[in-house]
Structure 1
Amino acid sequence: MTETSETASQATDRPGPLREFWYYFRENRGAVMGLWIFVAFVLVALFADLIAPHDPTAQFRKNLLQPPFWQEGGSIAFPLGTDALGRDILSRLLHGARYSFYVGIVVVTVAASGGIVIGLIAGFAPRWLDAIIMRIMDIILAFPSLLLALVLVAILGPSLTNAMIAIAIVLQPHYVRLTRASVLSERSKDYVTAARVAGAGRLRLMFVTVLPNCLSPIIVQAALSFSTAILDAAALGFLGMGAQPPTPEWGTMLAEAREFILRAWWVVTFPGLAILVTVLAINLMGDGLRDALDPKLKRS
């Protein structure tokens, strides 16, 4: 009776999965800081219409290239200055967060969904089909990611939607390889054998039995891919192959400000800082997710 009560008390005192996750995640202070910055980034993206002082495409022709904190009539009309067309940089940055967040969500969703399905198929497929799938992924990975994205956008046409499609295709092989490796390590375990003996079909084994146990590295990869998607979208926008003017996307803002970099530093500095801070926060958060979800990194 005593041993039974002790076992029951230990089971009761054991923290739930969410509490255990937060316990290990908060040990990484950089990850917690990155999480709060990411939450602020999400809130700015959601409420940009309410926060922004001006319309992001409105042109104030009397205030071209005004420096930050320029006072007009005793009040600061443009806290971060204006660009060459007289548009408020702060308003464009706030709305640009919405585009960046949108790009990250769409790219990660498309790349992860397709990559997970293909990786599961490769992990359970016959050896010849597995070899064909992986060689195709190796070919895609052999090209520089930005160059391949540029080629795809050149074929599809320059636009934000086509840029997201191209970036998702470029990132997909990472999910395929990661999912396949996790499946190969899980499919030989006892619980998979038991499910197979119990009569579980191939699809049930793939998506119900094995996939939930492969999600930890995929979640970490998704967090890191989010920042990669923002960077690649900004790079394509900077090269004129992503979002097109007057869209207030951070990479497009950098492209429009290139010729004014020496005489109007603010038009380049603030979009660049927005990209830097956002990507750094997501990468820090990804490190915390890895520490919290990988059992090998957890300290007893």
Structure 2
Amino acid sequence: MAIDKSAGAALNEAPELPGAAGGDILARPGRFKEFWSYFSENRGAVVGLVVFITFILIAIFADLIAPHSPTQQYRDALLHPPAWQEGGTVEFFLGTDAIGRDLLSRLIHGARYSFFVGVIVVVIAAGSGVIIGLIAGFARGWVDTLIMRLMDILLAFPSLLLALVMVAILGPSLTNAMIAIAIVLQPHYVRLTRAAVLQELPKDYVTSARVVGASRMRLMFVTVLPNCLAPIIVQAALSFSTAILDAAALGFLGLGAQPPTPEWGTMLADSREFVLRAWWVVTFPGLAILINVVAINLMGDGLRDALDPKLKRS
């Protein structure tokens, strides 16, 4: 009779397994709802997110939104003022530059280049930095010491100066500028990942994974890394804005994107001599950089507040 009761209990528990799995899946929207509740408490972060999404949409649909080609020159409309200024026309809503190119179209296509720079730099810097940080955190000993001393050397130099030196060696281009910026930002990910790994290694779940025979690679990328992602995500958001700003700085100095590429920093460099004659050729690219960098930084602050458990209110 005892055997029959045990078998019946097992049969009764069997149908509950799909429900348990489904309940685990349904719990994920709950986690997102909790994240959004903390994130939305920061109104600046929400505004930054809206601006960032708008920035992405403009970059994706630049060819459809822009009224003109970013490189087309209108010789009869050199330094044409914006539409609302005396002498301006709706055809060139934000005016034209010194060789008759539509400023609005160049700003819209410039968003695509800035977004491309931010994505590539963050992917390279975060991808390589996280892997090196994991190696340093797990290896310890002389490997850890060697990696961290190399990172300290890179951090000892001013970031923009180091990027300038690298671009000067590699040659002025947008690709080389992205590589230089990624190398400059990489030490931040290495130090952040290593610190997070050292914090997680003594915990019980890591010890349990080691006891059951998990391999080193599984411990690194499956067990520990997912629990280190919160600070890395925040750093990635902040690095995105830094990449845009540094790329614009290199473009302004003539070491980034080269003319006629409609990159915001290059547009500023081309317009320096017309500051007093045509205010719009300098003002609008500068505002584009300012608005996007501030918006991404605000969004990064919101991510930090939402993902850091220490900042969450009980």
Q: TM-score range by the shorter chain?
A: over 0.9
Q: Contact (CA 8 Å) 1:220, 1:289: kept in 2 or not? A: yes
2:238 to 224, 231, 240: 224
Is 1:171 the counterpart of 2:185? The answer is: yes
Unaligned residue ranges in structure 2 (runs of 5+): 1-19
Q: What percent of counterpart residues are identical?
A: 78
1:201 to 209, 212, 215: 215
Q: Contact (CA 8 Å) 1:32, 1:285: kept in 2 or not? A: yes
Paired residue secondary structure (1:224): helix
The AA in structure 2 aligned to 1:239 is L
Correspondence for 2:45: 31
Shift of the alpha carbon at 1:44? 0.4
Correspondence for 2:91: 77
The AA in structure 2 aligned to 1:32 is V
Shift of the alpha carbon at 1:126? 3.1
Whole-angstrom distance in 1 between the partners of 2:139 and 2:83: 62
Query: Which range is displaced more, 88-97 or 15-24?
Result: 15-24
Paired residue secondary structure (1:253): helix
Q: Contact (CA 8 Å) 1:111, 1:171: kept in 2 or not? A: yes
Whole-angstrom distance in 1 between the partners of 2:116 and 2:82: 28
Paired residue secondary structure (1:77): helix
Correspondence for 1:136: 150
Is 1:161 the counterpart of 2:163? The answer is: no
Shift of the alpha carbon at 1:15? 6.8
Correspondence for 2:6: none
> CA RMSD for the aligned pairs?
1.9
1:221-260 equivalences under 5 Å are 221-260=235-274
Select the structure of larger CA radius of gyration. Answer: 2
Correspondence for 2:159: 145
Deviations 1:253-295 (A, max 9, x none): 0000000011110000000000000000000000000000000
Correspondence for 2:131: 117
Shift of the alpha carbon at 1:16? 1.6
Whole-angstrom distance in 1 between the partners of 2:212 and 2:27: 33
Deviations 1:171-229 (A, max 9, x none): 00000000000000000100000000100011110000000000000000000000000
Is 1:93 the counterpart of 2:116? The answer is: no
Is 1:40 the counterpart of 2:57? The answer is: no
Correspondence for 1:54: 68
Whole-angstrom distance in 1 between the partners of 2:146 and 2:88: 68
Whole-angstrom distance in 2 between the partners of 1:224 and 1:68: 33
Q: Contact (CA 8 Å) 1:28, 1:288: kept in 2 or not? A: yes
Whole-angstrom distance in 1 between the partners of 2:228 and 2:36: 20
Whole-angstrom distance in 2 between the partners of 1:263 and 1:174: 42
Whole-angstrom distance in 1 between the partners of 2:186 and 2:209: 29
Paired residue secondary structure (2:213): coil
Whole-angstrom distance in 2 between the partners of 1:74 and 1:257: 19
Unaligned residue ranges in structure 1 (runs of 5+): 1-7
The AA in structure 1 aligned to 2:189 is Y
Shift of the alpha carbon at 1:77? 1.2
The AA in structure 2 aligned to 1:177 is R
The AA in structure 2 aligned to 1:57 is T
Shift of the alpha carbon at 1:139? 0.1
